[in-house]
Amino acid sequence: MVVGVATMKQQNPWYQNLFSRSKGSAIAALSALSLVGAIGTSTQAQETLSNNTIQFPEETVVEFEIVDTHGYYQSTIGVVNLKTGQKTPLFVEKQGFDAPTSSVAGRDDTNTNADFKGTVEGGTIVNGAGEASNLIKYTFEAGTPYALYLDSVDPRTKQARVSLVSTNVNATSFAGSLTAGESGNSIKWDDSGLPRPGKDSDFDDFVIIAGGFTLESCPIRPQ
């Protein structure tokens, strides 16, 4: 069984234009996802991603969407299989930011232009498949422990800085749930890692959303 979830921008008026432009591919991608009946029936699906280990009782496809990034450093976020250690990128910054902008320590600048904003449209971010897209999906295998990860490098030297995992509450902040309609399950990163002098705890260095809508039909995997 597969639980499919789609994301807020597709039904949010603000992104209507974006969605219209990419409608063909978005729907093709969604048709590979699935179906509602899974949640709350025989096996409870995990409905909320959190700082705990992520583990679904059944194979589950989750669609992720990039909101924006707000940090000087150049980061990649993705899913790490905790059994094998294998990392799969979801979104990748090809450079540190769209254009340098001022920042205020400790402030969450999500959805603003401040603090070294990075976007797909601005040429900073691609999805894990290397496409200039705000969306990507990931298939979680049944009964397998996962976490999300963020790796970052200095954009000038390309030297590695930190490698963080979402089970660390100092690195990642979660809200909402996979079935929370337009708001989805937000996942916000602070790329400064463990508490230390100067840690800014802005939790806007990489902001993504998981899920938001459960889909009703699945041509590929009918019930």
Instruction: List interacting residues with Ca ion (CB under 5 A).
Output: 69-71, 96-97, 115, 118, 190, 192, 200, 202, 204-205
Nearest distance, CB of residue 185 and Ca ion, angstroms: 21
Instruction: Pick the closer one to Ca ion by CB: 65 or 190.
Output: 190
Nearest distance, CB of residue 166 and Ca ion, angstroms: 15
Nearest distance, CB of residue 29 and Ca ion, angstroms: 26
Instruction: Pick the closer one to Ca ion by CB: 78 or 118.
Output: 118
Instruction: Pick the closer one to Ca ion by CB: 17 or 102.
Output: 102
C-alpha to C-alpha distance for 124 and 142, rounded to whole angstroms: 33
Beta bridge partners of 151: 76, 163
3-state secondary structure the chain: CCCCEECHHHCCHHHHHHHHHCHHHHHHHHHCCCCHHHCCCCCCCCCCCCCCCECCCCCEEEEEEEEEEECCCEEEEEEEECCCCCEEEEEEECCCCCCCCCCCCCCCCCCCCCCCEECCCCCCEEECCCCCCCEEEEEECCCCCEEEEEEEECCCCCCEEEEEECCCCCCEEEEECCCCHHHCEEEEECCCCCCCCCCCCCCCCEEEEECCEECCCCCCCCC
Distances (CA, A) of 30 to 7, 44, 216: 10, 22, 10
Nearest distance, CB of residue 152 and Ca ion, angstroms: 8
Instruction: Pick the closer one to Ca ion by CB: 65 or 202.
Output: 202
Nearest distance, CB of residue 118 and Ca ion, angstroms: 5
Nearest distance, CB of residue 169 and Ca ion, angstroms: 14
Instruction: Pick the closer one to Ca ion by CB: 118 or 211.
Output: 118
Instruction: Pick the closer one to Ca ion by CB: 7 or 110.
Output: 110
